[in-house]
Amino acid sequence: MEPPTLADVLDTQRLLAPYLPPTPTWNYPALDAAAGATVFVKHENTQPTGAFKVRGGIALLSRLDPAERERGVVGYSTGNHAQSLAYAARLFGVPCTIVMPEHPNPAKADAVRRLGAELVEHGATFDDAAPYARALADERGMRLVSAANEPAIIAGVATAYTELFAQQPHLDAVVVPVGSGSGAAAACLVASALAPQCEVIAVQAADSPAAHDSWRSGELLRRPNRTAVEGLATGSGFALPQRVLRERLADFVLVDDDQIAAAQWCLLRDAHTLAEGAGAAALAVVLADPDRFAGRRVAVVCTGGNASEAEILRCSSPGTRTITAAPALALSRPS
Ligand SMILES: Cc1ncc(COP(=O)(O)O)c(C=O)c1O
Helix (H) or strand (E) holding 58: helix 54-62
Taking each continuous run of H as one helix and of E as one strand, the counts in the chain are: 15, 10
Q: Cα(174)–Cα(195) distance, rounded to whole angstroms? A: 10
pLDDT interval class at 188 (50, 70, 90)? very high
pLDDT interval class at 322 (50, 70, 90)? low
Task: Tell me how far the alpha carbon of residue 160 lies from the centroid of ligand 1, in angstroms.
Answer: 13
pLDDT interval class at 331 (50, 70, 90)? very low
Which pLDDT score is estimated for 328?
Answer: 47
Task: Tell me how far the alpha carbon of residue 185 lies from the centroid of ligand 1, in angstroms.
Answer: 12
Domain boundaries, the chain: 6-51+151-315, 54-145
Amino acid identity, residue 166?
A
CATH class of the structural domain 54-145: alpha beta
What tens digit of pLDDT does each residue of 27-39 get?
999 999 999 999 9
Q: Which of 200, 232, 234, 264 to mutate to test the pocket of ligand 1 (most atoms within 8 A of CB)?
A: 232
Which pLDDT score is estimated for 315?
Answer: 85
**Ligand 1 within 6 A of CB of 208:** no
Instruction: Using the Cα atoms of residue 78, residue 79, residue 80 and residue 86 in order, give the sign of their dihedral.
Output: positive
Burial readout 59-79 (b: 16 or more C-beta within 10 A, e: otherwise): bbbbebeeeebebbbbbbbbb
pLDDT interval class at 335 (50, 70, 90)? very low
**Ligand 1 within 6 A of CB of 182:** yes
Supply the mean pLDDT for the chain.
Answer: 94
CATH topology agreement for domains 6-51+151-315 and 54-145: yes
Closest atom, ligand 1, to C-alpha of 77: 14
Closest atom, ligand 1, to C-alpha of 179: 11
Closest atom, ligand 1, to C-alpha of 186: 10
Task: Tell me how far the alpha carbon of residue 319 lies from the centroid of ligand 1, in angstroms.
Answer: 26
**pLDDT reading at 87 higher than 80:** yes
Q: Write down the CATH number for the domain with range 6-51+151-315.
A: 3.40.50.1100
What tens digit of pLDDT does each residue of 234-257 get?
999 999 999 999 999 999 999 999
Work out the average pLDDT over 78-100: 97
CA 91 to chain centre: 22
Cα Rg of the chain, angstroms: 18
**Ligand 1 within 6 A of CB of 183:** yes
